[in-house]
């Protein structure tokens, strides 16, 4: 399970507690307490507005969110500029782009690192829970992690995996939320 001791600490994962204290700041600069997602199915994605995968991924993420948000799905988008500098904008520019062009209603967080010594604690946890085929590091924009209502990482998907192709896995987890 996911638990935070504080926003700057490493993720720790005891099985007796859920999400606690602020995770990060959202794109508006507000602290977000992960406990608000307790009992929700999460699709966590590192995003980049200038990536060639942006159009299809953002479009499909918005479609899935609209279809399943009332059933307990949350999509958490974490902008990242580590791959080809494809997310150079400010938080406000990123949020405006995603919300205006793709009508995204899901949370867009502050820009984070997903790899390296400055990697966000949530990405340290996600990667350690579900390594990739070629190691734990995130290889590109739009890598996706599916997390169940109890905070367990269920699966990891490659950047080229269409969000719509994940929908069946999301539905299975949502059925367990009821």
Indicate which residues carry an active-site annotation. Answer: 51
What does the block give as tokens for 46? 């590192």
Long-range CB pairs of 152-160 (<8 Å, 24+ gap) are 152/1, 153/125, 153/126, 153/129, 154/130, 155/130, 156/126, 156/130, 156/131, 156/132, 158/132, 158/133, 159/53, 160/53
State the Cα–Cα distance between residues 65 and 105, nearest whole angstrom: 8
Tokens coding 99: 């919300």
Whether 22 contacts 124, CB under 8 Å: no
For the chain, what is the total number of helices (H) and then of strands (E)?
4, 6
């Amino acid at each position: 399970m996911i638990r935070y001791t504080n926003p700057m600490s490493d993720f720790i994962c005891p099985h007796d507690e859920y999400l606690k204290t602020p995770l990060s700041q959202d794109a508006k600069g507000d602290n977000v307490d992960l406990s608000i997602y307790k009992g929700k199915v999460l699709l966590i994605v590192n995003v980049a507005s200038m990536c060639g995968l942006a159009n299809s991924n953002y479009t499909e993420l918005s479609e899935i969110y609209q279809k399943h948000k009332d059933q307990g799905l949350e999509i958490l988008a974490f902008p990242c500029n580590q791959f080809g500098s494809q997310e150079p904008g400010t938080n406000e520019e990123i949020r405006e782009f995603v919300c205006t062009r793709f009508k995204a209603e899901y949370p867009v967080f502050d820009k984070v690192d997903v790899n390296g010594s400055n990697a966000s604690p949530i990405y340290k946890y996600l990667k350690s829970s579900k390594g990739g085929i070629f190691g734990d590091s995130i290889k590109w924009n739009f890598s996706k992690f599916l997390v169940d209502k109890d905070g367990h990482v269920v699966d990891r998907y490659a950047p080229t995996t269409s969000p719509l192709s994940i929908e069946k896995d999301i539905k299975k987890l949502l059925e367990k939320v009821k």
